[in-house]
């Protein structure tokens, strides 16, 4: 999209006051000896994991924490003081954290429906950003975040940390070598036996010390329900996209990486709450989606409550080629050869590769956060920049849009819309609850 100016709307421009629109900034590069001050927005789960991983890099300091839950803030403050010897400032309103001129970078690990506004506000304030996956809760938000990052020119890393894991890199290098022959199908899956049903629970008042209205933010106004709070927010459409976006962005991203692919030309999806029909979950416990590209298909499937997925692995990605199949997950990768009969004897089409395990002590996450820090300090190339993160999110959200419309959707990449399907195109763009406003572009 051609544009002369980016209008930062959303949290920053409504009447209670927020950040003033900033001019476009150039990314600041610190020396390795200079302290990198980091703030965290959303400290309960991955925000804390990301921070602790980032603090493994030298001269990185936690300067501020922001969360809507006072108990979470108190706990994380105590842990930082105990383990790192400094006292971070505490905020309930992320905009006040972004006002701090001494903060160089922020980690955004709030629920998915908050990512777009907070990331746009952060880059417009001149902050580098490490944003959790999926980067957005809709297709249009992912695209808007890409535009904002490219306009403001700060460094944005997306938390799809497989991109930094060496055994993942080795597996994809093998895919790119061509040894598998023509790859006709990519399979990606997540069978989560530890994710059980959640029972229907009554609405209650929000816990003491929780700013629930701020937690909702741009999402629709609803009474507080513990099912929709903290970890299990993932299973409600207002805030997230279920396993399709939670694990799908990790694993579909690997498929796109291996195939050097963009958006599909057609997508169809099916699923429902088949295992736990009485569950409070809105998102499906069982789902399949097929993404049709020009010369291959990519298949996604997930299941809550069971763990025996394809190739007897609970999760993974399989590249199925004419010569063999490469299978990779968070633990290892291997190649299974196709065989053919020739003059009465059996011959493998490609040499088998025995299981190649992730290196001991390598988490992937630690390499990923270190890559972010090094990108800020010395200009190291990001392993999962905003372009990669937005593409993975867009594909995953396409699967959910196809599920909701129950139709086969054709995608027009030039017009950036679904062909001849008004409902699908409307589902691309979220409705923000006043006074929060969806970020806009003026061209």
| pLDDT score recorded for residue 442 | 45
Q: How confident is the model at residue 441 (pLDDT cuts 50, 70, 90)?
A: low
Same structural domain, 333 and 401: yes
Whether the pLDDT of residue 155 is over 60: the answer is yes
Q: What is the pLDDT of residues 210-241, one digit of tens each?
A: 999 999 999 999 999 999 999 999 999 999 99
Same structural domain, 173 and 289: yes
The verdict on residue 75 lying in a domain is yes
Whether the pLDDT of residue 366 is over 90: the answer is yes
Q: How confident is the model at residue 339 (pLDDT cuts 50, 70, 90)?
A: very high
Whether the pLDDT of residue 25 is over 90: the answer is no
Q: What is the pLDDT of residues 256-267, one digit of tens each?
A: 999 999 999 999
| pLDDT score recorded for residue 363 | 78
| pLDDT score recorded for residue 2 | 31
Q: Tell me which residue has tokens 């927010």.
A: 233
- Report the C-alpha gap between 270 and 289 in whole angstroms: 6
Same structural domain, 139 and 50: yes
31 compared with 136, residue with greater pLDDT = 136
Same structural domain, 288 and 210: yes
Same structural domain, 216 and 236: yes
Same structural domain, 411 and 276: yes
Same structural domain, 306 and 242: yes
Q: How confident is the model at residue 360 (pLDDT cuts 50, 70, 90)?
A: confident
Q: Region of 209 please: left (phi>0), alpha (psi -120 to 50) or beta.
A: left
Q: What is the mean predicted confidence (pLDDT) over 401-411?
A: 98
Share of the chain above pLDDT 70, in %: 92
Same structural domain, 88 and 186: no
Same structural domain, 239 and 318: yes
The verdict on residue 352 lying in a domain is yes
| pLDDT score recorded for residue 342 | 77
Helical packing angle, 365-378 and 46-54, nearest 10°: 60
Instruction: Kindly report each contact of residues 115-118 with a partner whose C-beta sits within 8 Å and lies 24 or more positions away, as own/partner.
Output: 115/141, 115/145, 116/10, 116/141, 116/142, 116/144, 116/145, 116/438, 116/439, 117/10, 117/11, 117/217, 117/218, 117/436, 117/439, 118/11, 118/41, 118/94
Q: Tell me which residue has tokens 């297709």.
A: 139
Q: What is the mean predicted confidence (pLDDT) over 171-190?
A: 98
Same structural domain, 336 and 416: yes
Q: What is the pLDDT of residues 389-404, one digit of tens each?
A: 999 999 999 999 999 9
Q: Which range marks the domain in which residue 106 is found?
A: 5-163+366-385
| pLDDT score recorded for residue 30 | 56
| pLDDT score recorded for residue 362 | 78
3-state helix/strand/coil string of the chain: CCCCEEECCHHHCCCCCCCCCCCCCCCCCCCCCCCEEEEEECCCCHHHHHHHHHCCCCCEEEEEEECCEHHHHHHHHHHHHHHHCCCCEEECCHHHHHCCCCCCEEEECCCHHHHHHHHHHHHHCCCEEEECCCCCCCHHHHHHHHHHHHHHCCCEEECCHHHHCHHHHHHHHHHHCCCCCCEEEEEEEEEECCCCCCCCCCCCCCCCCECHHHHHCCCCCCCCCHHHCHHHHHHCCCCCCHHHHHCHHHHHHHHHHHHCCCCCCEEEEEEECCCCCCCCCCCCCEEEEEEECCCCEEEEEEEECCCCCHHHCCEEEEEEECCEEEEECCCEEEEEECEEEECCEEEECCCCEEEEECCCCCCCHHHHHHHHHHHHHHCCCCCCEHHHHHHHHHHHHHHHHHHHHCCCEEEECCCCEECCCHHHHHHCCCCCCCCCCCCEEEC
- Report the C-alpha gap between 195 and 303 in whole angstroms: 9
Same structural domain, 121 and 181: no
Q: What is the mean predicted confidence (pLDDT) over 328-333?
A: 96
The number of domains in the chain is: 2
Same structural domain, 143 and 235: no
CATH number reported for the structural domain that contains residue 63 in this entry: 3.40.50.720
């Amino acid at each position: 999209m051609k544009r002369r100016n980016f209008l930062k709307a959303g949290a920053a421009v409504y009447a209670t006051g927020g950040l003033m629109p900033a001019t476009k900034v150039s990314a600041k590069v610190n020396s390795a000896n200079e302290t990198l001050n980091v703030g965290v927005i959303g400290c309960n789960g991955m925000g804390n994991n990301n921070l602790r991983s980032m603090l493994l890099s030298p001269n990185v300091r936690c300067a501020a924490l922001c969360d809507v839950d006072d108990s979470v803030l108190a706990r994380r403050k105590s842990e930082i003081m105990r383990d790192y010897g400094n006292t971070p400032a505490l905020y309930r309103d992320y905009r006040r954290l972004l006002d701090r001129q001494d903060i160089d970078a922020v980690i955004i690990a709030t629920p998915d429906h908050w990512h777009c506004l907070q990331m746009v506000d952060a880059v417009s304030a001149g902050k580098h950003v490490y944003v959790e996956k999926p980067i957005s809760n809709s297709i249009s938000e992912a695209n808007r975040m890409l535009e904002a990052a490219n306009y403001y020119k700060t460094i944005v890393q997306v938390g799809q940390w497989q991109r930094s894991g060496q055994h993942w890199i080795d597996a994809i290098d093998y895919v790119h070598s061509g040894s598998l022959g023509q790859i006709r199908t990519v399979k990606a899956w997540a069978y989560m036996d530890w994710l059980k049903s959640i029972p229907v629970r009554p609405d209650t008042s929000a816990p003491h010390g929780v700013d629930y209205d701020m937690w909702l933010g741009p999402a629709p106004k609803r009474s507080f329900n513990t099912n929709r709070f903290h970890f299990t927010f993932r299973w409600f459409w207002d805030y997230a996209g279920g396993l399709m976006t939670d694990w799908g962005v990790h694993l579909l991203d690997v498929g796109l990486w291996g195939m050097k692919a963009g958006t599909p030309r057609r997508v169809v999806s099916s699923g429902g709450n088949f295992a736990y029909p009485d569950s409070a979950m809105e998102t499906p416990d069982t789902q399949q989606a097929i993404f049709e590209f020009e010369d291959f298909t990519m298949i996604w499937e997930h299941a809550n409550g069971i763990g025996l997925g394809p190739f007897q692995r609970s999760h993974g990605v399989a590249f199925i080629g004419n010569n063999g199949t490469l299978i990779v997950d968070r633990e290892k990768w291997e190649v299974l050869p196709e065989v053919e009969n020739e003059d009465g004897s059996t011959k493998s089409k490609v040499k088998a590769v025995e299981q190649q395990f992730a290196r001991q002590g390598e988490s992937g996450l630690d390499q990923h956060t270190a890559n972010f820090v090094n990108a800020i300090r010395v200009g190291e190339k990001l392993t999962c920049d905003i372009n990669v993160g937005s593409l993975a999110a867009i594909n995953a959200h396409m699967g959910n849009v196809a599920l909701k419309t129950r139709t086969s959707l054709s995608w027009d990449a030039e017009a950036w819309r679904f062909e001849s399907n008004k409902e699908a195109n409307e589902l691309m763009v979220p409705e923000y609850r006043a006074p929060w406003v969806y970020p806009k572009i003026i061209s």
